[in-house]
A = this chain, B = another copy of it.
Amino acid sequence: MDGSRCRLSEEEAAHCAKVLRHREGDIISVIDGTGTLYRCRIISASPKCVEAEMISSEPDWGTHPYRLHLAVAPTKNADRYEWFAEKACEIGTDEISPIIGMHSERKIFKTARVEKILLSAAKQSLKGAVPAINEPMSVKDFILKYGSDNTGKPLRLIAYCFEDASHPRISIKEAFDKYDGHEAIVMIGPEGDFSPEEAELALSHGFIPVHLGTSRLRTETAAVTAAEAAYFRWME
């Protein structure tokens, strides 16, 4: 985007001119990835380069009335994480952090593919902003980085499955209903759950322990359920 003109990246140009077969004069919708959608008229179109002039712009296009950061442990099967990322984007999520726990079987994670999926999901679901995917980090580092001493006052939740008499969990629904702000961070553990040490560290850094109801959910389903909990909390 440069003044009233925009040039699509080579990949987007190929999609626009080759796949969608757009030609000079066609009106297309372009997102800048940070929240604004532009209606543009194509000036020149080739599979290598598409140039268009801006007709109108819609700021905060397809946004949601809250900010949600989901910290989710990689799943054994990468497809399941990619599926979660697509759905989280459709429902409404701003930031995703892959977190590696003590009980994580999968300790490596490639963000590039998830980045692609988030972009196409944002385009498909008409969102001006594309959710950010962070580089993977350990559960411990995530807690130290996003714990209560380090960032504003978002609602901080950690969902785990084991019972802990000294720290009774409330439902994620109750936690959201009690919160009157507009920013939440939710941690979702690996198939093997968070370790008691990880849970303890999170609680000592301002995370509230929650459960996701009585159903036994896979990691990616738990993560989508967290996204839905926020979506319903602010649904009108």
Give A contacts to B, CB under 8 Å: 62, 64, 83, 87, 90-92, 124-126, 171, 173, 213-218, 221, 224-225, 228-229, 231-232, 235-236
Find out whether the CB atom of A91 lies under 8 angstroms from the CB atom of B125. Answer: no
A213 contact set on B, CB distance < 8 A: 231-232, 235
User: Which chain B positions have C-beta within 8 A of A173?
Assistant: 232, 235
- Option from B83, B171, B225, B232 in Cβ contact (under 8 Å) with A83: B83
**A214 contacts across to B, CB distance below 8 A:** 64
Q: Do A90 and B236 contact each other (CB < 8 Å), given the known contacts A224-B224, A228-B225, A228-B228?
A: no
Which B residues touch A232, using CB under 8 A?
A: 173, 213, 228-229, 232
B171:A236 contact, CB within 8 angstroms: yes
Contacts of A125 in B (CB 8 A): 215-218
Per the bound structure, the CA–CA distance linking A91 and B225 in Å amounts to 9
Closest chain B CB from A186 CB (angstroms): 14
Asked whether, in the complex, the Cβ of A91 is within 8 Å of the Cβ of B231, the reply is: no
Minimal Cβ-Cβ distance residue in B for A211? B235
| A87-B224, A90-B221, A221-B87 known; A215+B231 contact, CB < 8 A | yes
23 A-B pairs with C-beta separation under 8 A: A62-B215, A64-B214, A64-B215, A83-B83, A87-B221, A90-B215, A90-B221, A91-B221, A125-B215, A125-B216, A125-B217, A125-B218, A126-B216, A171-B235, A171-B236, A213-B231, A213-B232, A215-B231, A224-B224, A224-B228, A225-B231, A229-B232, A232-B232
